[in-house]
Structure 1
Amino acid sequence: MTYRRLFVGSSCLAILISGGAFAAGTDFTQYVNVLFPGVVAAPFAMVKLGPDVQSGTKDAYSGYLPDGKVWGFSMMHESGTGGAPKYGVVSQMPVVGDVSNPLAELSQSRSAPDQGSIGSYMSSLANGVVVELSATEHAGLYRYTFPEEQTSSIVIDISHVLPSFRGLGWEQHYSGGNFSFYNDDHYEGSGTYNNGWNLSPDWTIYFCGTFSQAPSSLLTFKGEGTKLASYDSTTSVSGTERLGGVFTFNSSSIRSRVGVSFISSSKACQNLDNEILESTTLESLVDTAKKRWNAEVFSKIQISSTDVADLKLLYSSMLGMFIIPSNRSGENPGWSSDEPYYDDVFTFWDTHRCHTSLFHILQPVAYEEFIRSSIDIWRHDGFLPDARSSNFNGRVQGGSNADNVLADAYVKGVRGAIDWEDGFSAMVTDGETTPANNNDPKAPDSSTKEGRGALPDWLEYGYVTPRFSRAVSRAVEYSTNDFGLYQVAKGLGRQEDAEKYLNRSRYWRNHWDPDCTSNNHSGFVVPRLANGSFVPQDPLTCDGCYWDDVYYEDNAWVYSLNAIHDVATLKEYVGGDEMFADRINKLFDLNIFNAGNEPSFTSPYLYNFIPGMQYMSVRRSRQISKLYNSGTAGLPGNSDAGAMESNLLWHMIGLWPMTIGLGNGRTLAISAQSGNKDTAFYVQSLKVNGEPWDKAWLAWEDVFADGGSMEFVLGPDPMDWATGEPPPSPASGDLRLS
């Protein structure tokens, strides 16, 4: 038996998940808040065009901040990050009048809040310039309106890159570039950059652009800091200094077209010629973007509610889910391959709990490509990406959670063009090969680039000692990773491997100290030394809860509930159903639970393992949902590449994917009979595919493999309706630990 369980919550709205066409004329884009990523023309598009804003020492992760000064409009951003900004490259900045020093401070306040919709973005600057943006997958269109009867200037600064002010060594650096202007009035060039949150070495982005009219003058520049070394009519500059060009026009209305590529300037020009012609209007690009997002994403979930707040929350969350990863097929400079290539994986630590499962339900074709791309990265780079950007793996926060994602796909029957023998070999690399140490200053003990840096302890002791940072949280995640290997090994008929990895998936138990106590509870996962002794630990504390601590982003209370493949054992360890329920309650009573931290995501749904307590998962789900809104600050934490948005979407759907969950695009209709969705939200009864259902969980095959229906009857009071068999706990059998 394979396990793909989903926990039943409550469906707060009637929902149709569909792989078919949406209702004719329905424009879901009207409900979407697009401000913080800017313009993304299509799901997974490489170009993400928007403003770059400075506001004191606040990191602008995706370029956008609601307050502060705009200092450029750049072609590429990595939306939803939380560690440090990435990209913010290939930038333009409009300036009123002649530019005496393009290296000086040119930023502008905004005269009005930015405006945007799917496919379009507009900023009104204090200098009177209005900037309108639209884009395609590999190119962008700028439409400038300058004040009348004044000189219009546009500065292209190759050194422009989003900074980080956190002081953690994750800031990006400009290494050098080149800029050339040609007689046919187009320009080309490239910029090379490094570092950022994933600590990547030098990577290069190429660009090719042109304006709607010839400039009245063009000057190129080069210099350091704000000091110019040259500023003249030379048509080509290159070097490690800041450099670029200043275009001056005698017109107040100017259009700028730019293509980008990771391959070459000529490929950037080809992308521009293929996607945005001289005759292409901004309005036509906006119309195309709206059609694509409606057809490919927003139409996949439709709700009965006419409440605008509900609609904005739903469809804004769907946008946040599918901005990254970036589909860079044909734009991979690292190797030649017929396989798809996806980059900007940020990060499986964030997304494997709930994002990737919904990704597959709503985008099954792209999801299969994404799995193939991950395996192909292993073929050529040696390891699966746990995180990746600018064509470079990094950074691993906990386990090798690509293993969970691949296992998720395998047990659902995702096959297509995936080579699962290679897929399993890639997972085995994570499980058996220690990656070289990349000497991360925040965690110098082992690799944070890829794989499992603490694998030597895992293989020798069956646990992770504190000589490795994040020892306990890594160990818990390594257990779930090994459970993923077990599932794929079993499916491929590799019985010996299956038994080994099932056994290893129970190693989290080796961190369980039954004598560690907190708030009337005994037994928590704690650090353990090489001699086998446990390190005294207050489960409520985790020092900084960061890179060089024994727990990452949460404490022992949370991580002790994260062995979700072995819950029956966990219940036994904590003292049975009553104590298990109290332990989950304490997460909320003691304000431990943090909806903005991914390790907490699954905790509220463990009530489903306790007879008669499914209603508490519903109650907690309602509490968590209220932490969200559709505004620019509407998430309880960083988006983390759509992790937060997908978490909310599972709440709204009324299901929770605990181990794995996926879909094949067929129809699942979820209905809810309720007098008032705000007060009557407890499940009274449920029918699945027309038949009465008495379990607080479903298998993948029940409603997703071939589609189906779920009919909830909801009411204002809890009801003990889930009297059937409890959810599976597949790692809790009798096989002894070695």
Structure 2
Amino acid sequence: MRPRVELLLSLNLVSVHAAPQKPGNGLSYINPLIGTTNGGNVFAGATLPYGLAKASADVDGQNTGGFGLDGSNVVGFSSVHDSGTGGNPSLGNFPLFPQICPDDVLDNCSFRIGDRKLHYVNGSVDARPGHFGLQLESGVVANMTVSQHAALYRFTFPKESGGSKSHPLILLDLTDLWQSRQNASIQVDDKSGRMTGNGTFLPSFGAGSYVMHFCVDFFGSSIYETGVWVNNRAGTEPKEVFLTRGFNLFFLEGGGFVRLDPPSDGTATVRMGISYISSQQACQNAQREIPSPLKAFDSLVSNAEKAWEEKLSPISVKGGGATDDLLTSFWSGVYRNMISPQNYTGENPLWHSDKPYFDSFYCIWDSFRVQHPLLTILDPHAQTQMVEALLDIYKHEGWMPDCRMSLCKGWTQGGSNADVVITDAFVKNLSSTIDWELALDAVMADAENEPLEWSYHGRGGLHSWKSLNYIPYLDFDPYGFGTNSRSISRTLEYAYDDYCISELAGGLGRRDLQAKYQGRSMNWKNLWKADQTSLINGTDTGFKGFFQPKYLNGTWGFQDPIACSALAGFCSLTTNPSETFEASIWQYLFYVPHSVSSLISLLGGDDAMISRLDFFHTSGLADISNEPVFFTVFLYHYTGRPALSTERIHQYVPASFNSSPGGLPGNDDSGAMGAFLVFSVMGLFPVAGQNVYLISPPFVEGISIRHPVTGKTATVRNVGFDASYKNVYVQSARVNGKPWTRSWIGHEFFTEGWTLELVLGAKESKWGTELKDRPPSWSVSS
């Protein structure tokens, strides 16, 4: 386990705001710095739940989420970010940077990123809900907080020796973290110092471009001089500049600056409003939400803490001796799941609608499995808004996204996994305000209409899917265009997407559609090659029968079953596309969530399935850092051995999840890693798209969740719990005082406020082993 990093260090010149004492539950356990190293890519700065404004320091090291606790250089402080994303750094637009010009001469200041970058002081980082702060090696201390659409910064400059008084400079850089800016402009008001402007940027994992607008105001001191800068030079005339990519798409650095008269208390306050509509709206957002910037900082932090406390309030944990490290990981995981998607309602320039608009679905392929099911439990109001936003996107664009960020279409990674999100909401009776007929239209558009460009929405290869009942290897598809790869993973994902459509159609009384999509949901069998073997380093693993790619003419292609695993190298969407996406055939072997019983039969029965799972999880093939492996941890339930699922999750928790900055096994994917940890600790793992939670003993004595809509409190409680985790096997269970033999439970547990008691022991028992007590599994014959 990596040593924990102290978040606060007393500073010689001026200390970052000290964290107030919090109650011993929820908010006080949150550590936003978990995942800021080791590829977690989390956003560590200040934000409201689902807020647009997200203020943080940006570094030149691990900076996908803006800040990384990797000792790299700070290059600016910006007000918008995504969290836990992969690929290129996302957002980080229009960073500010404070400094004192040597000898108080403008020409001596540093403007370009490579010139101005500075290390932060080790131990000076203060990250907590609603607040982020650190000290630069220059002695400047930066503290920041946010409202919904605006950020507030306090830059405190070091006291100067000899009584000299320099004029602090604060620049704005017309760039983003990825330096994807295509063009941008800035205007600086000579008297007030107000900076307004906009820029056109590229999404970090998608197509098209977006325009973002800003409005920056300065407080706490009068204006000394203003101007613009380009490359490494600045001047007080003119007061505006327009930048493009330049010759051969050369990235030209530039922006605006303000120099202030020396602040009486050494602190300059800066307010930045953000809008996707206009600079005027950015100014209006900032003025409305932060009308008194010099007095607002502490109240904004307090308001953010209250907002987060409210979001966390449904949960109550009885630790029973569980470590603070585990509790910190748990609560921080809950917190990160409410950072994104982001509520952009009122900030959508693409169409006018009375429906909410959420963005930063980055990506649904990652989030449908655990993040959205977690929000359905803890924040059904927000999840309802997200579902309505997905349907509104369909209404105006023709398809729901599989990925979306910065108002742009993101690349589709697998199937049309918004279908699973929609069905998950339906089977759990999320909200009566959702238009389910529109929802059926939306999911059927995914299943029936192939878009010309299916790389960023919908499904490709639908003609083959309908005629051949699988996605062929090197498919001939003149009807639409995308990356000609992932034939195995797309076949498996399309099959489950169609099953989810069948459940929605059946629930709406459309039995004809239900039967049609149930039939298509078994297409996964058409890529099963019963005699395929698998070798590792030339040695046969002893297992026979794997999915394999199949050509249009029905003959077999080949992909090594261990390719794209941790043993053989990562497969991405663009650099080395394969017939499985970001995971091996071994891993996709287990992705048949609706018909696990059929898969077990193909493999040769329960013992054969257990043997495969054991080998997968102990050979290095399982990659807990990526979402497809999550479900496999709990698949033992379907063999009648839920105790083995419990053993397996204890293999990964806490070994791969802890509260250090590197405490995530990989990219957080907008909170998905955190949600997996939360459900594991809770002892109820969701099968997304189905009204099923797989029961395993919690990692604490008990957890209660008050449903935000019904007001009923659900409790899962261990009887005989010990924090050394020797007693981890369920001996018997009761629900509301009555015996419960099933190894799974439905969403009614949460909405109706049931109590689940698990009596624990040191050895595996017969609980949950009977055929009738296994989780539901659909097949053609059922």
Normalising to structure 2: TM-score of the pair?
Answer: 0.85
Distance 1:676 1:123 in 2: 40
Cα deviation for residue 212 of structure 1 reads 2.7
Q: Secondary structure at the match of 2:93?
A: strand
Query: Are 2:286 and 1:275 aligned?
Result: no
**Cα 1:193–1:160, aligned 2, differ >3 Å: closer, same or farther?**
same
Which letter does structure 2 place at the counterpart of 1:48? K
Question: 5+ residue gaps in structure 1?
Answer: 1-23, 164-170, 438-446
1:546 aligns with 2:572: yes
Larger displacement relative to structure 2 (111-120 or 647-656): 111-120
Moved over 4 A (4+): 24-27, 661-665
Question: Identity, % of aligned pairs?
Answer: 30
Is residue 2:310 matched to residue 1:295? yes
Partner of 1:506: 522
- Which of 647, 650, 655 is residue 622 of structure 1 equivalent to? 650
Q: Distance in 1 between matches of 2:182 and 2:734?
A: 58
SS in 2 for 1:244: strand
Indicate if the aligned counterparts of 2:365 and 2:414 stay in contact, CA closer than 8 A: yes
Structure 1, residues 543-570: CA drift from partner, whole Å, max 9, x if none? 7533221111111111111011011110
- What is the alpha-carbon distance in structure 1 between the residues aligned to residue 154 and residue 582 of structure 2? 43
1:691 partnered with 2:700: no
- Counterpart residue identity of residue 133, structure 1: M
Letter in 1 for 2:767: W
Q: 1:673 matched to which residue of 2?
A: 719
* SS in structure 1 of the partner of residue 272 of structure 2: strand
Partner of 2:600: 571
* Deviation, structure 1 residue 78: 0.4
Matching of residue 376 in structure 1 with residue 387 in structure 2: no
In the alignment, structure 1 residue 451 sits paired with structure 2 residue 458: yes
Listed as ranges, the matches of 1:334-373 within 5 Å are: 334-373=350-389
Deviation at 1:39, TM superposition (A): 3.1
- Amino acid in the other structure paired with 2:147: T
**1:27 to 1:555, Cα distance in 2 relative to 1, 3 A:** closer
Provide the C-alpha distance between the structure 1 equivalents of 2:370 and 2:67, rounded to a whole number of angstroms: 26
CA distance in 2, matches of 1:410, 1:112: 49
Shift of 1:370: 0.7
Match among 145, 150, 175 for residue 160 of structure 1: 175
Match of 1:140 among 148, 151, 174: 151
The CA deviation string for residues 146-186 of structure 1, in whole angstroms up to 9 with x for no partner, is: 112352434433422112xxxxxxx7334222333264443
Q: What is residue 240 of structure 2 aligned with on the other side? A: 236
- Using the size of structure 1 for normalisation, the TM-score is 0.89
SS in 2 for 1:49: strand
Deviation at 1:723, TM superposition (A): 4.0
Q: Which amino acid aligns with 1:560?
A: L
Kindly tell me: are residues 175 and 301 of structure 1, through their superposed partners in 2, closer, same or farther at Cα, counting changes over 3 Å? farther
Whole-Å separation in 2 of the counterparts to 1:310 and 1:27:
13
**Structure 1 residue aligned with 2:180:** 172
Is the partner of 1:422 in helix, strand or coil?
Answer: helix
State the partner residue of 1:34: 32
Following TM superposition, by how much is the alpha carbon of 1:311 offset from its aligned partner in structure 2, in angstroms?
2.3
What secondary structure does 2:295 align onto? coil
Q: Find the counterpart in structure 2 of residue 522 from structure 1.
A: 544
* Among 363, 380, 387, the residue aligned to 2:403: 387
Q: Give 1:25 shift.
A: 5.8
Quote the offset at 1:413 in angstroms: 1.6
- 1:599 pairs, out of 628, 650, 654, with 628
Q: Residue 280 of structure 1 aligns to a residue in which SS?
A: helix
Distance 1:152 1:300 in 2: 49
Cα gap change, 1:694 to 1:314, in 2 (>3 Å):
same
Q: Secondary structure at the match of 2:121?
A: strand
Looking at structure 1, the residues matched to 741 and 527 of structure 2 have their Cα atoms a distance apart, in angstroms, of 35
CA distance in 2, matches of 1:348, 1:649: 18
| Partner Cα separation in structure 2 for residue 618 and residue 263 of structure 1 | 50
In structure 2, distance between residues paired with 1:179 and 1:33:
38
Structure with more contact order per residue of length (Cα contacts < 8 Å, sep ≥ 6): 1
The secondary structure found in structure 2 opposite 1:52 is strand
The CA RMSD over aligned residues, in Å, is: 2.1
Give distance in 1, aligned partners of 2:192 and 2:116: 28
Q: Note the alpha carbon deviations across 1:109-130, whole angstroms, 9 max, x for none.
A: 1123312221111111111101
Is residue 136 of structure 2 the alignment partner of residue 130 of structure 1?
Answer: no
| CA deviation after TM superposition for structure 1 residue 700, in Å | 2.6
Contact map agreement 1:54 1:65 (CA 8 A) in 2: no
Q: Which residue, 111, 115, 126 being the options, matches 2:121?
A: 111
Of the structure 1 ranges 654-663 and 324-333, higher mean CA displacement relative to structure 2 is found in 654-663
Deviates more, 1:474-483 or 1:689-698: 689-698
1:492 aligns with 2:508: yes
Quote the residue 1:168 is aligned against.
none
Aligned partners of 1:494 and 1:382: how far apart in 2?
22
Contact 1:298-1:318 at 8 Å conserved across structures: no
How far apart, in 1, do the equivalents of 2:217 and 2:445 lie?
43
User: What secondary structure, in the 3-state scheme, does the structure 2 residue paired with 1:520 have?
Assistant: strand
What secondary structure is seen at the aligned counterpart in 2 of 1:284? helix
Check 1:372–1:72 CA distance in 2 against 1; reply closer, same or farther (3 A cut): same
Letter in 2 for 1:117: R
Aligned to 2:111: 102
Aligned equivalent of 1:257: 271
Correspondent of 1:200 among 199, 203, 208: 208
CA contact 1:358–1:661 (8 Å) conserved in 2: no
Give the gaps of 5 or more residues in structure 2: 1-21, 37-42, 245-251, 475-483, 535-540, 693-706
Amino acid at match of 1:692: P
Contact 1:53 1:60 in 2 (8 A): no
CA deviations 1:422-481 (Å, max 9, x no partner) are: 1111111111111222xxxxxxxxx32111123232123111112231110111000111
Say if 2:404 and 2:410, in contact at 8 Å, map to a contact too: yes
Note if contact 1:325-1:343 (Cα within 8 Å) is conserved in structure 2. yes
Residue 305 of structure 1 contacts residue 311 of structure 1 at CA under 8 Å; is this kept in 2? no
Q: Classify 1:675/1:707 alpha carbon distance in 2 versus 1 (closer, same or farther; 3 Å).
A: closer
Query: Of 470, 480, 494, which residue of structure 2 is paired with 1:463?
Result: 470
The answer on whether the counterparts of 2:214 and 2:272 sit within 8 Å (CA) in structure 1 is: no
Name the counterpart of 1:708.
754
CA shift, 1:509, in A, is 0.7
C-alpha spacing 1:339/1:153, structure 2 compared with 1 (3 Å):
same
CA positional deviation for 1:586: 1.0
1:210 is aligned to: 218
What is the aligned counterpart of 1:84 among 64, 78, 88? 88
Q: Which amino acid aligns with 1:79?
A: S
Distance 2:232 2:270 in 1: 28
Shift of 1:27: 5.9
One of 69, 75, 79 as aligned partner of 1:71: 75
2:614 aligned residue:
585
SS at 1:281's partner residue? helix
Deviations 1:275-303 (A, max 9, x none): 11224332211111111101122553433
Secondary structure in 2 matching 1:112:
coil
Verify the 8 A CA contact 1:396 1:448 in the aligned structure 2.
yes
Tell me by how many angstroms 1:40 deviates. 3.4
2:145 counterpart SS class: strand
| C-alpha contact 1:80 1:641 (8 A) present in aligned 2 | yes
What is residue 557 of structure 1 aligned with on the other side?
A: 586
